[in-house]
Amino acid sequence: MFKVSRKSEYALIAIQHLARRARDGVTSVAELAQAENIPPDILAKVLQGLKRAGLLTAAKGAGGGYRLSRPVKEIHFLEVVRPFEEQLCVVSCQNDHGGCERGGDCTLRDPMTVLNAYMLRQFADLTMDMFLSPHKLLHGTHMDVAIGETSLGRLTSTAHPAD
Amino acid sequence: MFKVSRKSEYALIAIQHLARRARDGVTSVAELAQAENIPPDILAKVLQGLKRAGLLTAAKGAGGGYRLSRPVKEIHFLEVVRPFEEQLCVVSCQNDHGGCERGGDCTLRDPMTVLNAYMLRQFADLTMDMFLSPHKLLHGTHMDVAIGETSLGRLTSTAHPAD
DNA sequence: TGAACTCGGACCAAATCGGTCCTGTTTCAA
DNA sequence: TTGAAACAGGACCGATTTGGTCCGAGTTCA
Ligand code: SF4
Ligand code: SF4
């Protein structure tokens, strides 16, 4: 239920790649596609999308290519993914355009609204530098405790690292 | 990217409905379909799936129908949804069967594994009684702090409520 | 017996998705 | 000046998934 689209994966990989090569130059689509083993045509679309989102800067002409327009630490996960995920919501009715035919009498709507807000908040804090080293992803956020413990309820009493 | 399927929504609604009518009797598909305005045929499939998952008990024959086989507080969100979501993972490679062609050299795999584990943990604690009153969903779990604060990073230093 | 149920496979149309192709347009460099 | 290199983006296509329908078979109670 929460699988990201293939384009989103390509986008994340591309950001990773460009972040690692923090050289002053730019990287072309063909170059990046070959290095990461991604179909060039579709990667072109993905990079276009990222550029439109303001994450990349394009240099046309010979010797051109793409470049991160921001330090990787300031690029958020949701920004990278959003251009390729038409709806970032748990249920259709959360989306702006239209929604669902069953309007107010849906008993699922309110709980789902809460869930939706919760999930977006979880992802809002993720920055792409965490994806360069899973270590950061684990310990740079609250995820360490979330994964390590059986329940977040214990988090409140985690202050003491007794045995 | 994390929208649940329509069948899952029907399943959640059905559980809600059956939980509210905690009468000793059973509810037939037709009855439930009409009450909740769901296509009867597809609702039948959904209830079958829930029964196979052990959440419902079926009574065949005239006057038959479905009944919750457990108190609603002991039914978890993931249990309800799982029969209708083929993959509960962020990326294909997390799934058991097959996965992705790009094996170990994918720089996205490790971070995604962490994300996946994190998300599953978040949902693991949700029980269906929370869906009956959004109030519970907000305050019965850690979601209150998650939604209320600007970042969960503050959670670790929340022990002292000093301004 | 027969009506009211559950059970479950077969089937279908629409939407989505991943991917390809093909035609501009811009820019730099020989 | 010329042309190759690169981005820009629309059109298209096949495979998969999804939501939904239909129908026949078993089961139980009145
Ligand atoms: S109104 Fe109810 S059925 Fe419709 S999309 Fe929202 S939660 Fe789902
Ligand atoms: S291996 Fe990489 S590209 Fe393949 S599904 Fe996993 S994260 Fe995505």
* A29-58 pLDDT tens trace: 999 999 999 999 999 999 999 999 999 999
Closest residue in A to B138 (Cα) is A114
pTM for the whole structure: 0.86
Half-sphere exposure of B65 (CA within 13 A, CB side): 17
Quick one: what percent of chain A has pLDDT higher than 90?
Answer: 52
Q: Which domains does chain B have, with CATH numbers?
A: 6-132 (1.10.10.10), 133-163 (no CATH)
Is nucleic acid strand C under 7 Å from A76's C-beta? no
Radius of gyration of chain B, Cα coordinates, nearest whole angstrom: 19
Q: Is B66 helix (H, G, I), strand (E, B) or coil?
A: strand
Quick one: what percent of chain A has pLDDT higher than 70?
Answer: 77
Residue pLDDT, tens place only, B5-48: 999 999 999 999 999 987 668 999 999 999 999 999 999 999 99
Give me the residue label for tokens 């990046």: A32
DSSP state of A91: S
Distance B133 CA to C8 C1' (A): 35
Q: Is B35 helix (H, G, I), strand (E, B) or coil?
A: helix
Phi, psi angle pair for B91, to nearest 5°: -130, 155
Q: Say if residue B125's pLDDT is above 90.
A: no
Residue pLDDT, tens place only, A66-94: 999 999 999 999 999 999 998 888 888 87
Q: Which ligand sits nearest to residue B104's alpha carbon?
A: 2
More confident residue, B69 or B2: B69
Cα–Cα distance, B118 to B110 (Å, whole number): 13
Cα–Cα distance, A58 to A48 (Å, whole number): 9
Q: Say if residue A155's pLDDT is above 60.
A: no
Q: Is A66 helix (H, G, I), strand (E, B) or coil?
A: strand
Q: Which of B46, B36, B32 is nearest to B4 (CA)?
A: B46
Distance B155 CA to C28 C1' (A): 53
Q: What's the confidence (pLDDT) of residue A90?
A: 85
A124: Cβ contacts below 8 Å, ≥ 6 apart: A76, A78
Q: Say if residue B158's pLDDT is above 70.
A: no
A146–chain B Cβ distance below 8 A for any pair? yes
Phi, psi angle pair for B57, to nearest 5°: -120, 135
More confident residue, B52 or B87: B52
B70–chain A Cβ distance below 8 A for any pair? no
Cα–Cα distance, A56 to A49 (Å, whole number): 9
Specify the ligand 1 atom closest to the Cα of A108: 7
* Structure token digits, residue B123: 């949902």
Q: Say if residue B54's pLDDT is above 90.
A: yes
Q: What is the DSSP string of B93-116?
A: GGSSS---SS-TT-TTHHHHHHHH
Chain-wide mean pLDDT for chain B?
81
Cα–Cα distance, B147 to B133 (Å, whole number): 17
Q: What's the confidence (pLDDT) of residue A147?
A: 42
Q: Which of A114, A25, A153, A8 is nearest to B131 (CA)?
A: A114
The stretch B48-70 carries a mean pLDDT of 95
Q: For chain B, give the number of residues.
A: 163
Q: What's the confidence (pLDDT) of residue B70?
A: 94
Confidence of residue B139 (pLDDT cuts 50, 70, 90): low
Q: What's the confidence (pLDDT) of residue A121?
A: 80
Name the nucleotide nearest A64; use CA and C1': D6
Closest partner residue to A102 (CB to CB) among B37, B119, B130 is B37
More confident residue, B33 or A24: B33
Q: What's the confidence (pLDDT) of residue B49?
A: 97
Q: Which of A15, A6, A96 is nearest to A42 (CA)?
A: A6
DSSP state of A140: S
Interface of B with A in 40-69 (CB under 8 A): none
Q: Which residues, judged by CB distance below 6 Å to any ligand atom, belong to the binding site of ligand 2? A: A 9; B 91-93, 100, 102, 106, 108-109, 112
* Structure token digits, residue B144: 């209150």
A104–chain B Cβ distance below 8 A for any pair? no
